[in-house]
């Protein structure tokens, strides 16, 4: 899948690009079922809120065939290769949950600010592409973006080790207030199958989910292969150390898997 010139220009201007309806319900349904299975696993890669509700399944592509295929899907990988101008590897892979009533906050931050400080990634030649597995609404903890904030480069940040179960380099209130006065705040929402790309320096967050509706989003953090990290401080399932270029699969790879699974005999 290739972006148009207009889409490329919008991404570079705003710092993000929303692509509705990129995946069908037939492709998404098995991934939602698989996400539920992963969130129930007792693995070091599956992190939980203080309530015990699932927060993140890191590196899901290494222990789930469905998410392995998604991590090499051309509708996700090829637009990022186009924007970064080269081959990419998987720096980080997350299936993030926001449980009904219990989904906690992700503080205001820049992902590249984290990657630079913790992983010694040389340049912001890395970005995120996210797929909605469940409907994202204004009420259930959507992503919040400050448009054009990526143009400010890496901003000063403090290392929050206590705010949530996941440590982040977070931005202070004065910085967020100034940026929001200049660029506003937007919250991409939509049904399962929608996709959003965003720049590594785009300032973003997500509020707690106190609604009765859960939501889950898959994040691929892709980095241009020559820009790979130089520091190996964080666990390998959080900051990956395999810099092999991703070779995209066929466009029907998820449907092929669903057909294979439906053809298997029922147990017992």
Secondary structure (3-state) at 241:
coil
pLDDT for the residue numbered 233 = 93
Name which of 117, 77, 99, 70 is nearest 206 in CA terms: 99
d(C-alpha 231, C-alpha 64), whole Å: 27
d(C-alpha 255, C-alpha 232), whole Å: 36
**Domain edges within the chain:** 5-263
CB atoms within 10 A of CB 63: 15
d(C-alpha 62, C-alpha 75), whole Å: 20
**Phi-psi category of residue 126: left, alpha or beta, with phi > 0 → left and psi -120 to 50 → alpha:** beta
Contact, 129 vs 84, CB < 8 A?
no
The percent helix, strand, coil of the chain (3-state, each to 5) is 30, 25, 45
Beta strands in 25-84 (DSSP E): 46-48, 54-58
d(C-alpha 204, C-alpha 219), whole Å: 14
CATH number for the region 5-263 comes to 2.60.120.620
Going from the first residue of the chain to its last (268 residues), give the mean pLDDT of each consecutive group of 10, the final group possibly shorter.
Answer: 94 98 96 95 93 93 97 98 97 95 90 95 97 97 96 86 64 95 96 98 95 96 98 96 97 86 62
d(C-alpha 201, C-alpha 199), whole Å: 5
């Amino acid at each position: 899948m290739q972006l148009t010139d207009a889409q490329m220009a919008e991404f570079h201007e705003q710092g993000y690009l929303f692509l509705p309806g990129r995946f069908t319900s037939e492709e998404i349904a098995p991934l939602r079922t698989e996400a539920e299975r992963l969130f129930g696993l007792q693995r070091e890669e599956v992190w939980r809120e203080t309530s015990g509700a699932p927060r993140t399944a890191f590196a899901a592509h290494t222990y789930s065939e469905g998410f392995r295929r998604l991590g090499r899907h051309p509708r996700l990988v090829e637009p990022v290769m186009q924007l970064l101008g080269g081959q990419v590897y998987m720096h980080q892979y997350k299936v993030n949950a926001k449980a009904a009533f219990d989904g906690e906050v992700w503080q205001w931050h820049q992902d590249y600010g984290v990657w630079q400080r913790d992983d010694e990634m040389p340049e912001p030649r890395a970005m995120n592409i996210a797929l909605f597995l469940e409907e994202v609404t204004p009420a259930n903890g959507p992503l919040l973006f400050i448009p054009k904030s990526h143009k400010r480069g890496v901003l000063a940040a403090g290392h929050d080790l206590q705010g949530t179960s996941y440590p982040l380099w977070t931005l202070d209130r004065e910085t967020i207030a100034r940026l929001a006065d200049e660029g506003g705040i937007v919250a991409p929402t939509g049904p399962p199958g929608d996709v959003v790309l965003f720049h590594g320096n785009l300032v973003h967050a997500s509020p707690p989910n106190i609604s009765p509706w859960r939501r889950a989003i898959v994040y691929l953090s892709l980095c241009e292969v020559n820009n790979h990290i130089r520091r190996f401080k964080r666990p390998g399932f959080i900051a990956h150390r395999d810099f092999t270029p991703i070779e995209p699969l066929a466009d029907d790879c998820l449907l092929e898997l669903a057909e294979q699974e439906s053809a298997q005999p029922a147990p017992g």
